[in-house]
A and B are shown apart, each in its own frame.
Chain A
Amino acid sequence: MYTAVRGGAVAIQHAEDLIEQEVHGAHDPIATRQVQAQLPLLLDQVMGEGSLYDPALGAVAVRQAAGDPMEAGFLLRAYRTTLPRLGYSVAASSRSMRVVRRISSAFRDIPGGQLLGLTRDYGQRLVDLRLLEDADAPGSHGAAQDDVLANGSSPADDSGADESPQFPLVIDFLRDEGMLAARPEQPSEDEPFDVTREPVRYPAPRSARLQILARGETGAMLGMSYAGMRGYGAGGHGTIAELRQGALPIEITHPVTGRPARIGWLPVTECHFVAGGEATLRSPRADYSMGYGVVTGRNERKAISMAQLDMGLKRGAGSGNLLDDQEFVLSHIEPVDAMGFVEHLKLPHYVTFQSSMQRSARLRALTNAARNQAHEAAGAHSH
Chain B
Amino acid sequence: MVTATATAAPLLSVQGLTTIHGEAPCAACVALTGPEADRNQCPECGSIVACAGVSFDVWPGEVLGIVGESGSGKSTVLQCLYQDLQPAVGAAYFGGFAEGQRSIWDADRRERRELRTQSIGMVYQNPRQGLNLMVTAGGNIAERLLDANWRRVGDIREKASDYLQRTEVPLPRMDDFPAFFSGGMQQRVQIAKALANSPQLVLLDELTTGLDVSVQAGVLDLVRDIQRDYGLTAVIVSHDLGVIRLLADRTLVMKQGRVVESGLTDQILEDPQHPYTQLLVNCAT
Q: Total interface residues on B, using CB and 8 Å? A: 4
Taken together as a complex, chains A and B put the C-alpha atoms of A283 and B25 apart, in Å, by: 12
Task: Mark A268-310 against chain B: 1 for CB-CB distance below 8 A, else 0.
Answer: 0000000000000011000000000000000000000000000
Taken together as a complex, chains A and B put the C-alpha atoms of A282 and B23 apart, in Å, by: 9
Taken together as a complex, chains A and B put the C-alpha atoms of A283 and B24 apart, in Å, by: 9
Task: Mark B9-47 against chain A: 1 for CB-CB distance below 8 A, else 0.
Answer: 000000000000001100000000000000000000110
Closest to B23 in A: A283
**A226 CB to nearest chain B CB (Å):** 29
Task: Mark B208-230 against chain A: 1 for CB-CB distance below 8 A, else 0.
Answer: 00000000000000000000000
Closest to A283 in B: B23
**A12 CB to nearest chain B CB (Å):** 48
Contacts of B45 in A (CB 8 A): 282
**A363 CB to nearest chain B CB (Å):** 16
**A345 CB to nearest chain B CB (Å):** 27
Contacts of B24 in A (CB 8 A): 282-283
Closest to B45 in A: A282
Contacts of A282 in B (CB 8 A): 23-24, 45-46
Contacts of B23 in A (CB 8 A): 282-283
Taken together as a complex, chains A and B put the C-alpha atoms of A307 and B23 apart, in Å, by: 27
Taken together as a complex, chains A and B put the C-alpha atoms of A268 and B196 apart, in Å, by: 61
Task: Mark A246-287 against chain B: 1 for CB-CB distance below 8 A, else 0.
Answer: 000000000000000000000000000000000000110000
Task: Mark B32-64 against chain A: 1 for CB-CB distance below 8 A, else 0.
Answer: 000000000000011000000000000000000
Closest to A280 in B: B23
Q: Total interface residues on A, using CB and 8 Å? A: 2
Task: Mark A58-73 against chain B: 1 for CB-CB distance below 8 A, else 0.
Answer: 0000000000000000
Taken together as a complex, chains A and B put the C-alpha atoms of A283 and B47 apart, in Å, by: 12
Taken together as a complex, chains A and B put the C-alpha atoms of A282 and B24 apart, in Å, by: 9
Closest to A282 in B: B46
Taken together as a complex, chains A and B put the C-alpha atoms of A282 and B46 apart, in Å, by: 7
Q: Which chain B residues in 98-151 approach chain A with CB under 8 Å? A: none
Task: Mark A127-169 against chain B: 1 for CB-CB distance below 8 A, else 0.
Answer: 0000000000000000000000000000000000000000000
Contacts of A283 in B (CB 8 A): 23-24
Taken together as a complex, chains A and B put the C-alpha atoms of A17 and B46 apart, in Å, by: 59
Taken together as a complex, chains A and B put the C-alpha atoms of A282 and B45 apart, in Å, by: 7
Closest to B24 in A: A283
Taken together as a complex, chains A and B put the C-alpha atoms of A154 and B46 apart, in Å, by: 55
Taken together as a complex, chains A and B put the C-alpha atoms of A283 and B45 apart, in Å, by: 9
Task: Mark B56-90 against chain A: 1 for CB-CB distance below 8 A, else 0.
Answer: 00000000000000000000000000000000000
Taken together as a complex, chains A and B put the C-alpha atoms of A282 and B25 apart, in Å, by: 11
Closest to B46 in A: A282
Taken together as a complex, chains A and B put the C-alpha atoms of A207 and B24 apart, in Å, by: 29
**B24 CB to nearest chain A CB (Å):** 7
Taken together as a complex, chains A and B put the C-alpha atoms of A282 and B43 apart, in Å, by: 11
Q: Which chain B residues in 232-266 approach chain A with CB under 8 Å? A: none
Contacts of B46 in A (CB 8 A): 282
Taken together as a complex, chains A and B put the C-alpha atoms of A316 and B46 apart, in Å, by: 24
Closest to A281 in B: B46
Closest to B47 in A: A282
**B33 CB to nearest chain A CB (Å):** 16
**B84 CB to nearest chain A CB (Å):** 16
Taken together as a complex, chains A and B put the C-alpha atoms of A283 and B23 apart, in Å, by: 8
**B153 CB to nearest chain A CB (Å):** 14
Taken together as a complex, chains A and B put the C-alpha atoms of A21 and B283 apart, in Å, by: 85
Taken together as a complex, chains A and B put the C-alpha atoms of A282 and B42 apart, in Å, by: 12
**A284 CB to nearest chain B CB (Å):** 12
**B48 CB to nearest chain A CB (Å):** 12
**A51 CB to nearest chain B CB (Å):** 38
Taken together as a complex, chains A and B put the C-alpha atoms of A282 and B41 apart, in Å, by: 13
**B212 CB to nearest chain A CB (Å):** 31
Taken together as a complex, chains A and B put the C-alpha atoms of A337 and B141 apart, in Å, by: 40
Taken together as a complex, chains A and B put the C-alpha atoms of A282 and B47 apart, in Å, by: 10
Taken together as a complex, chains A and B put the C-alpha atoms of A283 and B46 apart, in Å, by: 10
Taken together as a complex, chains A and B put the C-alpha atoms of A283 and B26 apart, in Å, by: 13
**B218 CB to nearest chain A CB (Å):** 34
Q: Which chain A residues in 309-325 approach chain B with CB under 8 Å? A: none
Taken together as a complex, chains A and B put the C-alpha atoms of A358 and B24 apart, in Å, by: 60
Taken together as a complex, chains A and B put the C-alpha atoms of A14 and B45 apart, in Å, by: 56
**A366 CB to nearest chain B CB (Å):** 14
Closest to B22 in A: A282
Taken together as a complex, chains A and B put the C-alpha atoms of A282 and B21 apart, in Å, by: 13
**A316 CB to nearest chain B CB (Å):** 18
Binding site for B on A (CB under 8 A): 282-283
The 6 A-B pairs of least Cβ separation, nearest first, read A282-B46, A283-B23, A282-B23, A283-B24, A282-B45, A282-B24
Binding site for A on B (CB under 8 A): 23-24, 45-46
| 6 pairs, CB–CB < 8 Å, chain A vs chain B | A282-B23, A282-B24, A282-B45, A282-B46, A283-B23, A283-B24
